[in-house]
Every structure is written in structure tokens, then in C-alpha cells.
Structure 1
Amino acid sequence: MPSYRVALSVGTLRPGSRPDELLPRAADAAAELTTVEARDILLSRGEPQLVVRYTSPDDDVAVAVGAVVEATVGELADVLGGRVLRRDGGAWTLVAAV
């Protein structure tokens, strides 16, 4: 089954939210729908990004999972941008923005 990842740039936290709950909640949201392979926080161009890697049978399902993860994180913090990528050989290919 192909591997995908959703990468979300995160801004200001919502009142009552803690930074340490963002990544676990993002991964848990994906895990309700598919198998989560990995989760991480990256720094891209000075912005923190939450990255959740998961399996999906196709691009449409992968984008739907990414949208659920984005909505979940959006309840906790401002999401400045997000994208779903598919693993193609040794590279990640953009599938869609979420």
C-alpha cells in the first residue's frame, strides 16, 4: 500500500491548547482512519511543521485523511498551510493542498 504524509505548518495556539498535544492529536486523528507509519515535527523555512506519515490505498483517500488531520489540528492551533504528499520511489510527490 502506498505511503503518504500530511505536512501542516502551524502558527498560534488556540486558548487552552498546549504545544505538546498537537502532534499526538494529529497522529491519533489519522490512526482512526488508517495505519500511521511515523510522526515528527520539522522546521521548514523557520516554521514548525507537523508531519504524519500513513498508508492509503489511493490519492483520494489519502487527501481525505489529510483533511481530517488538518481539521483536528485546526481545533488546537492556526494551520498556516498543509499538503499531502505520496512516496514515489525515493521522492515525495505533491498530491494536494489541504
Structure 2
Amino acid sequence: MPSYRAVLQITGLRPGHPPERVMEAAQEALGSRHLVEASQLDVVRGVPQITLRFLVEAASDDDETAAAWASALAMHEAVDEVATTGRLRVLRQRRGKWVPV
């Protein structure tokens, strides 16, 4: 099964939501569609971002990429309910490297 990463910038919390709710919302949304293998929080150039690595059911490259993007967008929507967000990126692992799709 192909491995993907959804990387989402977090620019702030919405009132009434604790910080841990951001990752919970992301994992719940993505986990309802695919197996989430790992998650992490990083700060890149002063901007927090969450990264979730997940597997997509094998199909054609176009179908796999479409499924990965649809799931990443669903994750973005879920996180947007608890936090303000920035850029969303989706990457696919190819030959040991993470390539934007």
C-alpha cells in the first residue's frame, strides 16, 4: 500500500479548544478513512505544523493520489473546527523520498 503524508500548518487555536485537540481531530478524521501509521508536531520557521503518515489502498496512481488528497482535505476540515490553519501539503513516498503530489 502506498504511503502518504498530510502536512498542515497550525496558526492558532480556536476559543475553548485545548492544544491536544488539534492532533486528535486530525487523527480521527484521517483514521476514519485510512490506517494512520504515525503523527508528529513540528515547528518549522516558527510555525507549528502537524504531519500524519497514512496508507492508501493500492489502485492506479491517479486514484491513490485522489484518495490521499480527499482524505487530507477531510482532515483539514476537521482540524479547522478547533484551530486556525495554514498551508496543507500532501506527499507520497517514492523510492525512499517524500515527493509532493
Whole-Å Cα distance in 2 between the matches of residues 87 and 71 of structure 1? 24
Whole-Å Cα distance in 2 between the matches of residues 9 and 38 of structure 1? 17
**Aligned residue in 2 for 1:63:** 69
Gap regions ≥5 residues in structure 1: none
Please report how far the alpha carbon of residue 17 of structure 1 lies from its aligned counterpart in structure 2 after TM superposition.
1.0
Aligned residues: 95
- 1:14-70 CA distances to partner (integer Å, 9 max, x unpaired)? 111111111122011101001111111011111110111101131000000100000
Whole-Å Cα distance in 2 between the matches of residues 89 and 44 of structure 1? 25
Whole-Å Cα distance in 2 between the matches of residues 12 and 30 of structure 1? 21
**Aligned residue in 2 for 1:52:** 52
TM-score, structure 1 length as denominator? 0.92
Matched, 1:27 2:33: no
Give structure 1 regions of 4+ aligned residues with deviation exceeding 3 angstroms.
none
TM-score, structure 2 length as denominator? 0.89
- 1:61-95 CA distances to partner (integer Å, 9 max, x unpaired)? 00001000000111111111111110112211111
> For residues 5-20 of structure 1, what are the structure 2 equivalents within 5 Å?
5-20=5-20
What is the letter of the counterpart of residue 47 of structure 2? E
Gap regions ≥5 residues in structure 2: 58-63
> For residues 62-81 of structure 1, what are the structure 2 equivalents within 5 Å?
62-81=68-87
Whole-Å Cα distance in 2 between the matches of residues 93 and 83 of structure 1? 10
**Aligned residue in 2 for 1:3:** 3
